[in-house]
Structure 1
Amino acid sequence: MSRPGRLRRAVAATAAFVVLGTTAACTTVVDGDAQRVGADAAQKGQVDTSDFEGLLTECQILPAADIAEAVGGGSAERGFNGAICRWVVVGGGVTDVTLAWYEWGDFNLEKQTAQRLGFTTENIQVNSLAGFTQRDPARPQVCGVTAKSPGRGTLTWWVEPHAAGSDACASAIALMELVLNRAN
């Protein structure tokens, strides 16, 4: 056999040995049958939501009429709720409104993230709680306001008018004030 042929075989054998040795070193045998986390015969297909405080109630934190009034509209229609809540406000134009409440959110991390995304931020106080505004220079008509939640975590309101003219930050601050007033 030629020298290049032997070299290729030696390299291939070494590679196979490394792969087999690594695979064997990284495997573990566990007794029993695989089951979905939280699954048992009594709860088949059910999720115990008692561990989630206020599951989906954050979208009901303010009445739709209050949201509409805070952004200068006539009515607000909730379009999505889940990890975040969204409304479309109509009357005097169309405005998208979003609420995000992160029960375990970190205020400083939220601000650092906004700055890393290139948003301009400004420190504010909302009902004696630390907060900040955030704006994307590419979309200056949009404004977000984040504040520490009175209990824990962070609250963020985003206001995005579809037409120029209204002050999105003033609307987002007004929404934050309404929520924090309810919490006190």
Structure 2
Amino acid sequence: MSVNVATRRIRRAVRVVAATAAVGLIAGCGSSIQGSPRAEGESSPGDNEQFTALLEECSAVTEGQIAQTVGADAIERGFFGAICRWDTIGSNGPAKVTFNWFETGSLDTEKETGEKLGYAVESSTVQGNRSLVMRPPDDPGSCGVTVGSPSGGVVGWWVQFTAAAADPCDAASTLAELTVNRSI
């Protein structure tokens, strides 16, 4: 067999392999999406509006109310998401405030988690709703209050005073009350 014949066979084999691979890639990447295209941000009647209030839960209590509750002169929002955080400074020293809202959470899960972390967990009530008060054993400046949300799930507030100048449980309880009782 001559070199030219062998070279042609190799080139033909390479082209067949390349063509087969290209067809495989094109076929593998194709897909169909049902529905009608719309411009970004446009909605139609009947659309599922489950995300219209996304992140609004972080404003369930105003920054002014948070600052007043923890004795802060200044407040700075840190992170908003499933958990909302603020840093404050004031007469009680620096404080960290955290709010969480778990739409499918339960007080039983929160209690179990707190106990696994070694926290002291006490049953309580906030505005007539069952709640939990949690304290980490090695941080007397920290306290969390979690309450069953009237609309489902749980909401919780954690306050951590670094100077331990005030009772963090009082502050967390007040913030929980403000969250549950929107008429205050």
User: What is the rounded CA distance, in whole Å, between the counterparts of 2:85 and 2:35 in structure 1?
Assistant: 32
Tell me the equivalent position of 1:115: 115
User: What is the rounded CA distance, in whole Å, between the counterparts of 1:164 and 1:57 in structure 2?
Assistant: 30
Percent identical residues: 39
Structure label with greater radius of gyration: 2
Q: Residue deviations 1:21-79, cap 9 Å, x none?
A: xxxxxxxxxx96476x99996589xxx98333520111111111100111122232211
Moved more, 170-179 or 133-142: 133-142
Aligned length: 152
Report the TM-score when normalising by structure 2. Answer: 0.72
Tell me the equivalent position of 1:100: 100
Q: RMSD in angstroms over aligned alpha carbons?
A: 2.9
Query: Which amino acid in 1 is paired with 2:110?
Result: E
1:148 to 2:158 alignment: no
User: What is the rounded CA distance, in whole Å, between the counterparts of 1:139 and 1:38 in structure 2?
Assistant: 54
Query: Which amino acid in 1 is paired with 2:143?
Result: C
User: What is the rounded CA distance, in whole Å, between the counterparts of 1:132 and 1:80 in structure 2?
Assistant: 24
Structure 1 182/86 Cα, relative in aligned 2: closer, same or farther at 3 Å? same
User: What is the rounded CA distance, in whole Å, between the counterparts of 1:33 and 1:40 in structure 2?
Assistant: 21
User: What is the rounded CA distance, in whole Å, between the counterparts of 2:73 and 2:125 in structure 1?
Assistant: 28
The answer to whether the Cα contact below 8 Å between 2:107 and 2:132 also exists between their aligned partners in 1 is no
Report the TM-score when normalising by structure 1. Answer: 0.72
Structure 1 residues without counterparts, runs of 5 or longer: 1-30
The answer to whether the Cα contact below 8 Å between 1:65 and 1:75 also exists between their aligned partners in 2 is no
Structure 2 residues without counterparts, runs of 5 or longer: 1-26, 41-46
Tell me the equivalent position of 1:77: 76
Structure 1 residue runs of 4+, over 6 Å off?
37-41
